[in-house]
Every structure is written in C-alpha cells, then in structure tokens.
Amino acid sequence: MELTFYIAAAVAILSTIMVITRYNMIHALLYLVVSFMAVAVVFFTLGAPFMAALEIIIYAGAIVVLIIFVIMMLNMIQEDVQREKEWLKPSVWVGPALLSAVLLAELAYILLGANPSQTEALVAVDAKLVGLALFGPYLLGVQLCGILLMAGIVGAYHLGRQKKKVIHRFLQERSAAA
C-alpha cells in the first residue's frame, strides 16, 4: 500500500505541475484529470474508497467536463495559446513561486517538527459509516449543501444568460426611464 501511495503522490504532483505550466487549456485539463485520479488513488490508500469514487465522478468527471464545455464555447484558438505563452514569463512566476515555497517550507516545518505520533494500523472508514454520520449529526449540513447547489444552479443560469445589451444596469435603467 505504501508504495502505491508514494507513486500516486508523485503522479499527482507531477501532473499538477504539468497543469499549471501548460499553455493550452485543453492540455492542462487533461493533466488535471490525471491529477484528480492520482489523488483518488491516494484516497483509496488512505482508506476512503467512497471518497475516491466521488473524486473521480465529480471532480474528474463533472467539473472538468463543465470547464471543457465552457472552453469550447469560448472558441479558443492558437492565438490564445500564444498569448498564454507571453503571459507566463519567468519574471512573472518566480516571485510567487518563491513565496509559495516559503509557505510550503513552513508547513513542512510544522509537520515534520511535530512530535511523531504513535504508530497505528490503518483502519478504513467505509461508506456506511460516512452515510450514517452524514444523515445523522450532519443532516443540517446536507440540507445546506442542497440549498447551495440550488443557488449555484440558479446563479449559473442567471449569470450565464446572454443579454442583448452589454451596458451597465444603472445605465439601462436610466435609458429606460428616459
């Protein structure tokens, strides 16, 4: 299992790096799928098979597909790729990368500097347990999630509508009043 974890972790990191360095969005998204799958494997090794399944279905499936659809709607062409290339100069990414590295180093310092916890055998937390908790103490959270999704749908519908006029709504009101 350990080995599986490390390989999956390595894949996840590598593919994520690939995601953030691609110029072409579709390529990046494909790497993203790989990354999500690798993380799903990590979930499995951590004893959360249900979550692994969800990761693949929702992240790698639904969300990525959604993004792909949008990209298709936006008609990305070669020029855009070229522009991505221009935008992503070393001078742009060195600073943030360094800062993030500092953050990571501090995180690592916390993790590694902490007292090593006692060794315990891994116990899987299966879907049944999760389900019991989900519809027991977390019932309210589930309801809220439902509302959130509902709001997301409504919001997406409202925002995604194509309006005829592309001026500001205050201006619109004024023109209507006039």
- Segment 79-138, which members bind another protein (CB under 8 A)? 80, 84, 87-88, 92-93, 96-97, 99-104, 106-112, 116-120, 122-123, 125, 129-130, 132-134, 138
Cβ at position 178, least distance to another protein in Å: 23
Residue 98 region by backbone torsions, left for phi larger than 0, else alpha for psi between -120 and 50, else beta: alpha
b/e per residue, 116-148, with b = 16+ CB within 10 A?
eeeeeeeeeeeeeeeeeeeeeeeeeeeeeeeee
- Distance between alpha carbon 121 and the CA centroid of its chain, in Å? 30
CB 77 within 8 A of CB 157: no
Measured over the CA atoms of residue 106, residue 112, residue 115 and residue 117, the dihedral's sign is positive
Q: Give the number of residues in contact with another protein, rule: CB under 8 A.
A: 88
Cβ at position 176, least distance to another protein in Å: 20
| Nearer of residues 156 and 175 to another protein, judged by Cβ | 156
* Options 7, 30, 47, 56; binder of another protein; rule CB under 8 A: 47
Q: Which of residues 56-75 bind another protein (CB under 8 A)?
A: 58-59, 62-63, 66-67, 70-71, 73-74
Residue 139 found at the interface with another protein (CB under 8 A): no
